[in-house]
Amino acid sequence: MTLTLPIELTVNGRRRVLDVAPQHTLLDVLRDDLGLTGTKECCLVGECGACTVIVDGRAVDSCLVLAVEADGAVILTVEGLSSADGRLSTLQTSFLDKGAVQCGFCIPGQLMSAHALLDLNPHPTREEIAEGMAGNLCRCACYEQITDAVLAASEAGR
């Protein structure tokens, strides 16, 4: 018999009630239980930022958060950035327009960190963007394009 614990989350505006194993991470629950595979699984030790989501207004590496720790939380994933009819957000469009999307693997985490940054600082400087996005690695080295995209979204009032 496998031990599970009940949790309640609000994910992308939708209330979810789940039974989860105590050792499952928020990343496991988002990808495996809820089918939200936009959040990427990569390093599993909080080094790369590919699994970044926003929990109660704060960007976190979902691989480092146990699902039971998120009980009662409001979570935003990359799937929640676009509108209900599928239109991309200004931030997502800026990433495309500025060529910040190459292989695409890090982009969900980059978008979530940028979203959290712009919530805290709607008009960051290049230096503030670099600092705010420091936890996200890009194997394609698109850091300049990502910074340009965040600046463009900021200027557009995202």
Per-domain boundaries in the chain:
5-80, 90-155
pLDDT at 33: 97
Please say if the pLDDT value at position 66 is more than 80.
yes
Topology adopted by domain 90-155: DNA polymerase; domain 1 (1.10.150)
Question: Which CATH number describes the domain made up of 5-80?
Answer: 3.10.20.30
pLDDT digits (tens, 9 = 90+) for 75-85: 999 999 999 89
Six-digit token string for 127: 């230096």
Please say if the pLDDT value at position 99 is more than 80.
yes
Packed helices 107-120 and 143-155: angle between N→C axes, nearest 10 degrees: 40
pTM of the predicted structure, to 2 decimals: 0.95
Of 75, 82, 78, residue with least CA distance to 14? 75
pLDDT at 1: 64
Eight-class DSSP state of 106: S
Eight-class DSSP state of 28: H
Band of the pLDDT at 158, cuts 50, 70, 90?
Answer: low
pLDDT digits (tens, 9 = 90+) for 16-34: 999 999 999 999 999 999 9
Q: Checking DSSP bridges between strand 74-76 and strand 58-61, what pairing results, if any?
A: unpaired
